[in-house]
Amino acid sequence: MITSEAVNQAIDYILEHIEEDLSLEQVADHCHFSKYYFSRLFKSQTGESVWGFIRRVRLEQSAFRLKTERARPVTDIGADYGYSPSNYSSAFRLHYQTTPVSFRRKSYDQSMEHPFFHHENWKVESLEECRRKIQVKNVPDFRVIYERRFGSYEGLSRQWKRFTQKYEEYLTEKTVFLERTYDDPAVTEEENCLYDLCMTVGEDCALENTTRIQGGKCVVYDFKGHAKHIYAAYQTIFLVYFPATSYKMDVGRSLFDIYHVVDGESLYMELEICVPIRETP
């Protein structure tokens, strides 16, 4: 868990400006620290240097867009993150051990081993099945207590149990539980997946680790089933639904799940997967 709010603020700043020129000095200035102190603090909390984190996130975001924006040229996607065609191919190959073109082609394989429930295969739904579960609607903002974590989603139920026990005094009958996600496990290694456990809280909450999840117009997928099928639901949205529509994800807002029913024993879940969009057909 990342315990430093300064580091969390830095991560938010980096993600918001990931397509721009960024430097250690800019990020440290945003957090009101010297670059030397902040560099040590960031690495102690994340295990990565500031520049290493920026470089990795740029490549992983570009990889995600390679698979979801099929009509866009590879070079254009690389250019969005500041790469020339030759530099992009070299950096991408160094990170993924394959070329951007090969990665894009492989990402169309819609059935492979599950990244968390190992030895389980997953497959995407048809467009017709997907459309029956999706609505495009405006979702409200949520003010939340949050804790940010790096790592696999395995063992998430134990983390949620500790989280709810820790903030038990803030629970009410109106509390909403959410999980904010930043990475696609199909393009990001398990140990580097970044996510926030969240619960709604009143405006009078004085805890430092509060923030606002921005709602707005979203593609909302109504999920009901075992937790192991959530990954396939996400991939269905990315690989089937978005390519068949003119909607575009709003990269300035994070994806989040709104939990409605969770059975810790059977792992049956009912939730809404909310994917912010910036464009309508």
| Alpha carbon separation from 245 to 110, 127, 199, 249 (Å, rounded) | 18, 10, 32, 11
| Overall average pLDDT of the 72-97 stretch | 95
pLDDT of residue 114: 55
Q: pLDDT by residue (tens digit) across 242-265?
A: 988 888 888 878 999 999 999 888
Q: pLDDT by residue (tens digit) across 225-244?
A: 998 899 899 999 999 999 88
User: What's the token pair of residue 41?
Assistant: 């603090």
Residue 124 CA neighbour count, 13 Å, CB half: 18
| Overall average pLDDT of the 198-217 stretch | 95
Confidence of residue 111 (pLDDT cuts 50, 70, 90): low
Confidence of residue 118 (pLDDT cuts 50, 70, 90): low
Which uninterrupted H or E stretch holds 163? helix 156-166
Q: pLDDT by residue (tens digit) across 130-142?
A: 999 999 999 999 9
What 3-state class would DSSP assign to 27? helix
Q: Which residue has the higher pLDDT, 264 or 160?
A: 160
pLDDT of residue 267: 87
Residue 49 Cα to chain centre, angstroms: 20
User: What's the token pair of residue 266?
Assistant: 């059977």
pLDDT of residue 181: 94
**pLDDT at residue 191 is higher than 80:** yes
Q: Which of 85-99, 165-179, 236-250 has the lowest mean pLDDT?
A: 236-250
| Percent of the chain clearing pLDDT 70 (strictly above) | 94
Q: Where are the domains of the chain?
A: 5-107, 131-279
pLDDT of residue 116: 61
pLDDT of residue 198: 98
By the 10 Å C-beta count (0-12 exposed, 13-18 middle, 19+ buried), 172 is classed as exposed
For domain 5-107, give the CATH superfamily.
Homeodomain-like (1.10.10.60)
pLDDT of residue 228: 86
**Average pLDDT of every residue of the chain:** 91
pLDDT of residue 115: 59
**pLDDT at residue 281 is higher than 60:** no
15 close to 182: Cβ distance less than 8 angstroms = yes
Residue with token string 């190959």: 93
Residue with token string 């990565």: 48
Confidence of residue 144 (pLDDT cuts 50, 70, 90): very high
Domain covering 131-279: architecture: Alpha-Beta Barrel (3.20)
pLDDT of residue 87: 95
